[in-house]
Structure 1
Amino acid sequence: MGMIKITAADGHELGAYVAAPDKPIGAVVVVQEIFGVNKSIRGVADDFAKAGYLAIAPALFDRYERDLELTYVGEDLQKAFGLYGKLSPDTALLDIAAAFKEVEKTVEGVAVMGFCYGGLMSWLSATRAEKLGIDPACTVGFYAGGVGSVATEEPTCPVMLHFGLADSHIGADQREAVKAAHPEVKVYEYEGAGHGFFNVDRADYAPEQAKLAWERTLEFLKENLA
C-alpha cells in the first residue's frame, strides 16, 4: 500500500508505511530505529506482509522533520543521534498508538515490535498500553536500548526481547534487569551478535542469529495472535 497519513491523539498528523497481504491473519506495528522509516524498516514491514500480517510503520520523526530516511554511516549517523536527543517517549507512544488503532480498524489481534529505540517503545507499549488506549496481543523488542531503566514496569501482554551478547551499546545490566523483574518475559541472547544484528544494512548484521530471531518472532506472533 505504501505511505498513508494517520493522526495521533494530540492532533499530530504523521506518515506511516503500510504493507498488506490479501487476507491478514493479524497485524504488527513496526517501530523504527533512530533512522526513520527507511529501506530497512519498510523491508521488515514487507516481510511481515509476506508472512500474512498487515504491517504498519509510523514515522516517528515526522514531529521534527517529515519523510526522513537515514543511512547508518557518516553525516546521516550524526543526524540520527541529534534527532534521538529530541525524541520523547510520550509523543512517540502517541504515534505508535495511532498506528495501532489504524490497523485495528480492519484486523483483530495487533502486536507491536521494534528495533533499538523502537524496541524500547515496544516494551513501553506493553507496560503503558492502558494509558494509550491500546491492547497489544504481544510485543517484541530487538536490542531495546534503555530498557533496564524501565524494567520494573508491568507488561500487560506477553513480551519477547532479543539481545546480542556482543552489543556495545546495551550492557548485560539491561538484560539482567528485565530478567530479574520479569522471569516470564522471553529474553533471547545471541552469542557473537552486536547491536543491529538483525539489520542486513548494518555493519553488525549476523545472518544466522537474525534468522533464528525472526523464526522465534513469527512463532511468538502465531501463539499470541491466533
Structure 2
Amino acid sequence: MGQMITLHSDTPIGAYLAEPANPTRGGIVVIQEIFGVNAHIRDVADRIAAAGYTAIAPALFDAVQPGVELGYDTDGIGKGVALMGQVGFERPLKDVAAAAKYIAHTGKVGTVGFCWGGTVAYAAAIELGLPGVSYYGGGNTHFVDRPAKAPLMFHYGLKDTHISADDRAKVAAANPDAPLYEYDADHGFNCDRRATYDAASAKLAWARTLAFFAEHIG
C-alpha cells in the first residue's frame, strides 16, 4: 500500500509513507521499535492509512546505518539496542518533527510508537506538542518530570518484565488526564511477528488507539 520516500531531517533519511484511498482525516507519525522500519512497522502504517489517515514511519536509524530491518531474535535485539544508544532521543525527535512537517498538509498530526518508539512518542508530546499513543515505552520514566503539551494514551502489558508496576505508576501520576491501559500480556503484544503477540490485547489496544486518533486528530 505504501512506498519508501526520502525525508529531509538533519540528514536525509528514509521513511515509509502510506496514504488513504479517500481524503485524509489527518496524519500519524509511526515511530519504530529498535528493529527498524520493518514489516511490522510498515503494516501498522498501512493499517492507519486504511483507517483514513496519512501515515509516515521515519527510519530513525538511517543517520547512523541506513536501511535497518532487524529480526526479533537475540542478535536483532543486541544490534537494535546498540543503534538506539547511538542515536539517543534528540536526533529521533528531529526526525519525528520532519516527518510531521512532511504530512502537515493533511491536517492535524499525531504519533504512535512502540517500545523505544513509544518513549519517543511520549517525548514528542512533551517537546513537539504532538498528540501521541505510547505502546510499552520502556524509557517513559525518563520524561515524567516534564509536562506534556498534547494529549497522550499509554498501553502496557502486565507480564512485561521490562517495565515495572512502579514505572507504570510514575507515568500515570505524571499524566493524570491521560488514559493508561494495562493488558494481561507481555512486552511487544501488538506485534503479530513476535512470540509475545497477544491477539485479544492487540485488538483492544488498537480500537482504543483509533478512538484516540478520532478524538484528537480527526
Q: Same fold (TM over 0.5)?
A: yes
Partner SS, residue 49 of structure 2: helix
Cα-Cα RMSD: 1.1
Q: 72-81 or 155-164, which moves further after superposition?
A: 72-81
Which runs of structure 2 are paired with 1:29-178 in the superposition (5 Å)?
29-104=29-104, 106-129=105-128, 135-136=129-130, 138-178=131-171
State the Cα deviation string for residues 139-164 of structure 1 (Å, max 9, x = none): 10000111112112111111000000
- For structure 1, the residue ranges without an aligned partner over 5 or more in a row are 130-134
Deviation of the 1:20 alpha carbon = 0.3
Aligned equivalents of 2:79, 2:155: Cα separation in 1: 26
What does the per-residue CA deviation read over 1:140-193, in whole Å, with 9 as the maximum and x for residues that have no partner?
0000111112112111111000000000111112110011122111100112x1
Indicate conservation of the 8 Å contact 1:151/1:177, yes or no: yes
Tell me, which stretches of 5 or more residues in structure 2 are unaligned?
none
TM-score (norm: length of structure 1): 0.93
- Kindly provide the amino acid, as one letter, of the partner of residue 178 in structure 1: V
Q: Deviations over 1:39-74 (max 9, x none)?
A: 000000000011111000000010111011111014
3-state DSSP of counterpart to 2:191: coil
Contact 1:152 1:178 in 2 (8 A): no
* Letter matched to residue 151 of structure 1: V
Q: Distance in 2 between matches of 1:142 and 1:159?
A: 11
Residue 14 of structure 1 contacts residue 62 of structure 1 at CA under 8 Å; is this kept in 2?
yes
Q: CA deviation at 1:76?
A: 2.2
TM-score, with structure 2 as normaliser: 0.96
Preserved contact between residue 34 and residue 77 of structure 2 (Cα < 8 Å)? no
Find the aligned partners of 2:118 and 2:77 in 1 and give their Cα distance.
Answer: 19
Deviation, structure 1 residue 87: 2.3
Tell me which residue corresponds to 2:195.
203
Per-residue deviation at 1:75?
2.5
Checking the alignment, whether the CA contact within 8 Å between 2:114 and 2:134 is kept in structure 1 is: yes
Aligned residues: 216
State the identity %.
43
Q: What secondary structure does 2:106 align onto? A: coil
Residue 20 (structure 2) pairs with residue 26 (structure 1)? no
2:39 is aligned with what amino acid?
A: K
8 Å contact from structure 2 (residues 156, 183) kept in 1 = yes
Check the 8 A contact 1:70/1:76 in 2, yes or no. yes
> 2-side partners of 1:219 and 1:209: how far apart?
15
Q: 1:188 aligns with which of 181, 190, 196?
A: 181
Could you say which residue in structure 2 is the equivalent of 1:220?
212
CA shift for structure 1 position 98: 0.5
Distance 1:36 1:173 in 2: 29
- Deviation for aligned residue 1:101: 0.3
- Corresponding residue SS for 1:66: coil
Q: In the alignment, is the contact (CA less than 8 A) between 1:32 and 1:118 conserved in 2?
A: yes
- What secondary structure does 1:120 align onto? helix
Q: What is the alpha-carbon distance in structure 1 between the residues aligned to residue 139 and residue 123 of structure 2?
A: 11
* Conserved? CA contact 1:146–1:174, under 8 Å: no
